[in-house]
A and B are shown apart, each in its own frame.
Chain A
Amino acid sequence: MNQIPNASIAVKAVNVTKSFGQTQVLRGVDLEVRKGEVFCLLGPSGGGKSTLLRCINHLETPDDGVIWVDGAIVGYELRGGVLHELPPRVARAQQRKIGMVFQHFNLFPHKTALENVMEGPLVVLKQGKDEAQTKALARLEQVGLAEQAHHYPSQLSGGQKQRVAIARALAMEPELMLFDEPTSALDPELVGEVLSVMKDLAASGTTMIVVTHEVGFARAVADCVGIMVEGTMREFGDPETVFSNPSDPRVQAFLAAVIEQDF
């Protein structure tokens, strides 16, 4: 558990366990994602995918196990063989290096697209207003929304909202981007625009963990995929191997269902 992972590794999870009351949601999950890789996480509903992502960026605390992101243990400091919980200020400094994109966007509705993207840099990174604005506009340009900079979220389509949310996360210059079903709340015709922004990101070498049901996207973009069922990582490996001949019967059933849906 205390071995120092290799420098090329971005995320390593060891034996991550989490229960809510009586229900055990994560039952000892292991995970390894290399720097610059895209890891796609699939699996049936309720399998614990969101919970795992939320543990990685410290929105939830695992009951057992450790998560190591980019050189440090999330939420803890290892001293004398004991994990000491980090003070909130230090934990927040870790959190801001991990970008998160939510299924339901979670944009700030009282702020324009530009203000949403500027919020973190202004308040957390203490950038000057001009600097934050220039960079935020560049981020919006990157996701193809420079024209909508002054629109409020309520004036944007779902696909546009999600692209603003991606720009907002990128504005913090994260070392790692997490996506929790970024296209699941979108109308089918808007899925493409968000996936294409994500493909660009992947091509630019951003480390990404993407929870998705888009098998097509996973096949095309992922370096590695995992399939989680009932709180365990049932399959883990390169997309071709996992999708073509899964060994676990639950995984076979799940894949049969989603791949059928895709057509």
Chain B
Amino acid sequence: MSPHADLRVELAQLTNRTYQVRKLSHPGRWAAGIIVAILVILLVAAFAQGQIDWPVVAEFLTTATIMKGIVNTLLISALSMILGLVLGVVFAMMKQSPNPVNKAVAEGYIWVFRGTPVMLQLLIWFNIALVFPTIGIPGVLSWRTIDVVTPFVAAVLALGINEGAYMTEVVRAGLLSVDKGQSEAAATLGMSPAQTFRRIVLPQTLRVIIPPIGNSAIGMLKTSSLATAISARELLNATQQIYFVNGQVIELLMVAGIWYLAATTVLSVIQYFIERHFGRGFDGQQAARKVEPLEAEGK
């Protein structure tokens, strides 16, 4: 029995039209807040006073090597995302196709590229010359593979083709989310399949798939750092180039961290505005988030 067991009130006791209300106080919340705040202050202070030479961080933040690294990181990520999206649309359509060969190929693609670590795929593309020393059209054109598949190209191929396997599922879910009645309504207006896709189905698909694509793009920006392992000249690789020479390891890793954080923050803001654009006409923009971002952590 609680101390408030007798909650009964006689109706006759309710004499006022309004009562003063006393809410419960929450001392626990205050205490927890204060403890967390203190921990954060200690942590920040520790890093401020720790063995990090912040002026060095500031000095290298905008060096030419780092700048070039950022440009390459952005290029690799953007090209890989584009490749991934194109593959995603193509394989999503193949997977929906009534043709069993198309369907099987799409499923095989997803099976292989989602089933192996992206790091492994990077290394295989980087070493593809061991499998095919030359590429081209037999008897017409021929190049040495190492000249064509540079670390940059290997990174874009590996990351893009890997991303495509995830994008296939995202695009397919998006296409399936549009009710069949939409295409039928468009057909009764006399719209062609191409017009129907572009003006009716695609905008509604985008609304659903843009949040996972945005998350993928943010993930890609970070995953592209794996390409340092095949010595693609991206941001992380650039910082390593510098610290192998000057030994300022942590400072340069901080530089990389600051730039990655800046880039992902900008992407999140862009994502917000794009989602708002495609969410028009739908109650609660939250609805667009219902398609869960697929696990892009293939590493």
B-contacting residues of A (Cβ < 8 Å)?
A: 57, 59, 88-89, 92-93, 95-96, 98-100, 102, 104, 106-112, 119-120, 123-124, 152-154, 165, 168-169, 172
Residues of A within 8 A of B184 (CB): 59, 100, 102, 106
Q: Do A152 and B281 contact each other (CB < 8 Å), given the known contacts A110-B203, A110-B204? A: yes
Contact A88–B192 (Cβ < 8 Å): yes
| Neighbour of B187 across the interface among A93, A95, A109, A153, CB < 8 A | A95
Residues of B within 8 A of A95 (CB): 187-188, 190
Query: A93-B190, A110-B281, A168-B189 provided; 16 other pairs, C-beta below 8 A?
Result: A57-B188, A89-B192, A92-B191, A92-B192, A95-B190, A99-B188, A100-B184, A102-B185, A108-B182, A108-B186, A109-B281, A110-B278, A110-B282, A124-B190, A168-B185, A169-B188
Residues 180-212 of chain B: 1 if any A CB is under 8 Å from the residue's CB, otherwise 0? 011011111111110100011001100100000
Tell me whether B6 is interfacial, beta carbon within 8 Å: no
Could you list 7 A-B pairs, sorted by A, with CB under 8 Å? A59-B187, A93-B190, A96-B190, A106-B182, A153-B281, A154-B283, A169-B189
Q: Do A120 and B191 contact each other (CB < 8 Å), given the known contacts A106-B185, A108-B182? A: yes
**How far, in angstroms, from A197 to B55 measured CA to CA in the complex?**
75
Interface residue count for B (Cβ, 8 Å)?
24
Residues of A within 8 A of B204 (CB): 109-110
Residues of A within 8 A of B26 (CB): none
Residues 277-299 of chain B: 1 if any A CB is under 8 Å from the residue's CB, otherwise 0? 01011110000000000000000
Contact B207–A110 (Cβ < 8 Å): yes
**How far, in angstroms, from A93 to B189 measured CA to CA in the complex?**
9
| Neighbour of B190 across the interface among A110, A165, A172, CB < 8 A | A172
Task: Kindly report which residue of chain B lies nearest to residue A101, judged by CB atoms.
Answer: B188
Contact A100–B188 (Cβ < 8 Å): yes
B188, chain A: closest CB distance, angstroms: 4
Task: Kindly report which residue of chain A lies nearest to residue B184, judged by CB atoms.
Answer: A59
Tell me whether B147 is interfacial, beta carbon within 8 Å: no
Contact B281–A172 (Cβ < 8 Å): no
Tell me whether B179 is interfacial, beta carbon within 8 Å: yes
Q: Do A124 and B191 contact each other (CB < 8 Å), given the known contacts A110-B203, A110-B207, A152-B281? A: yes
Which residues in window 251-285 of B have CB below 8 A to A? Answer: 278, 280-283
Contact B191–A112 (Cβ < 8 Å): no
Task: Kindly report which residue of chain B lies nearest to residue A165, judged by CB atoms.
Answer: B185
Contact B190–A154 (Cβ < 8 Å): no
